[in-house]
């Protein structure tokens, strides 16, 4: 049963903007949901009421059960490892206490990219799909390439769709396997439960890069692949029939995403904790920092960047015409 909480723009404890007493998140409401053994969510889908809409979704809490890990709750709700870990920094990843409130960060600033076909943001490890209707967007948690085998950025397209793919390990796969002292791989791994590509694969125009399922879904939401994009089995099953050969693919790397919801400006951060935060004037694009139409709260920007929760939080708004006139009169 879902418990709706009145929308006050407040989702969790912490400092606020202006007179608020908590971070102002992009969710319209906050729902408290009991985690139950229902099938995992295939995708989060949001209706786009405006073709220029920049912020979608809402965050909500679930109650953890004794047997849950954050990865279990993430899998249930189309979230990856980093999604859950960053949004719940005070909750033990592997042994959250039974009955704990676990935040599911199902609220997103849409990446700064064309709202066409597939858009991947490497920094947040998330895939967005915009159907040609332009009326909705689907989002999926993904894994991407690890250091040294990074998933490439750029514009590509789908070149083939394969149901029940076989997998041909590369020479490097065989060498790594031998080095680790593990059992050799066959020359070709047939379709089935032992195939790491899962049941569906989308070939792309990026050399050797596939979008595919996996037979090990519990590692999703991390940088673990050799460059390919992994999806939950239920996620790729949902995406596969919706896309076509020649579907455009845009891959970006945007750790700092800004978006408007009405007159409120939101910032969503997915920075690498090991690399530290960028200077604030590098975080905020000039079109916002230098605009007389935008009132930025730089302390809120600093807090959101430092906390690095992956949740959209309000950091400013539009200057009112009255305020601009008043300032013009003073100066």
From CA 263, how far away is CA 302, in angstroms rounded?
Answer: 20
Task: Report the Cα–Cα distance between both ends of the chain, in Å, rounded.
Answer: 56
Compute CA 314 distance to the chain's CA centroid, rounded to the nearest angstrom.
18
Pairwise CA distance, residues 104 & 13, whole Å? 15
Report d(CA 138, CA 126) in Å as an integer.
Answer: 10
**Cα-based angle 70, 73, 77 (whole degrees, multiple of 5):** 135
Rounded Cα–Cα distance for residues 166 and 37 (Å) = 32
Edge to edge, the sheet with strand 256-261 lists: 256-261, 264-269, 313-318, 294-296
Continuous H helices in 62-144 = 70-76, 81-87
Q: Is 173 a catalytic residue?
A: no
Dig out the tokens for 73 from the structure: 């709750």
Contact 266, 314 (CB under 8 A): yes
Indicate which residue of 11, 86, 228, 270 is catalytic: 228
> Which is the catalytic residue, given 174, 212, 270, 281?
212
Q: Show the CA angle centred on residue 77, arms to residues 72 and 79, nearest 5°.
A: 80
**How many angstroms separate the CA atoms of 303 and 283, rounded?**
12
| Cα distance between residue 65 and residue 99, in whole Å | 6
In terms of DSSP bridges, do strands 248-252 and 117-121 run parallel, antiparallel, or are they unpaired?
Answer: parallel
Q: How far is CA 127 from the centre of its chain?
A: 7
CA angle (26 as vertex; 236, 151 as ends), nearest 5: 35
Known catalytic residue: 11? no
Residues known to be catalytic: 212, 228
């Amino acid at each position: 049963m879902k418990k709706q909480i009145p929308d006050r723009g407040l989702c969790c404890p912490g400092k606020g903007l202006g007179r608020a007493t908590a971070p102002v998140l992009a969710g319209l409401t906050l729902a408290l949901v009991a985690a139950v053994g229902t099938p995992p969510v295939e995708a989060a889908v949001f209706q786009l009421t405006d073709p220029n809409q920049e912020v979608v979704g809402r965050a909500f809490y679930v109650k953890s059960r004794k047997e849950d890990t954050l990865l279990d709750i993430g899998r249930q709700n189309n979230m990856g490892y980093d999604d859950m870990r960053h949004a719940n920094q005070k909750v033990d990843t592997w042994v959250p206490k039974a009955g704990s409130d676990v935040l599911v960060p199902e609220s997103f600033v849409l990446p700064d990219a064309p709202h066409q076909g597939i858009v991947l943001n490497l920094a947040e490890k998330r895939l967005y799909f915009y159907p040609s209707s332009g009326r909705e967007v689907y989002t999926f948690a993904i894994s991407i390439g690890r250091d040294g085998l990074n998933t490439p950025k750029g514009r590509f397209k789908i070149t083939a769709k394969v149901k029940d793919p076989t997998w041909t390990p590369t020479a490097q796969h065989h060498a790594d396997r031998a080095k680790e002292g593990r059992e050799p791989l066959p020359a070709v791994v047939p379709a089935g439960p032992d195939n790491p590509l899962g049941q569906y694969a989308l070939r792309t125009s990026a050399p050797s890069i596939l979008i595919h399922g996996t037979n090990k879904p519990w590692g999703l939401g991390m940088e673990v692949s050799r460059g390919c994009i992994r999806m939950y089995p239920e996620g790729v099953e949902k995406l596969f029939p919706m896309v076509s050969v020649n579907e455009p693919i845009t891959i970006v790397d945007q750790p700092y995403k800004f978006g408007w919801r009405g007159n409120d400006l939101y910032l969503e951060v997915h920075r690498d904790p090991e690399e530290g935060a960028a200077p604030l004037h590098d975080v905020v694009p000039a079109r916002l920092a230098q605009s007389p139409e935008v009132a930025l709260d730089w302390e809120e920007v600093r807090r959101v960047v430092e906390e690095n929760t992956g949740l959209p939080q309000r950091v400013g708004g539009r200057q009112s015409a009255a305020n601009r006139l008043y300032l013009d009169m003073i100066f």
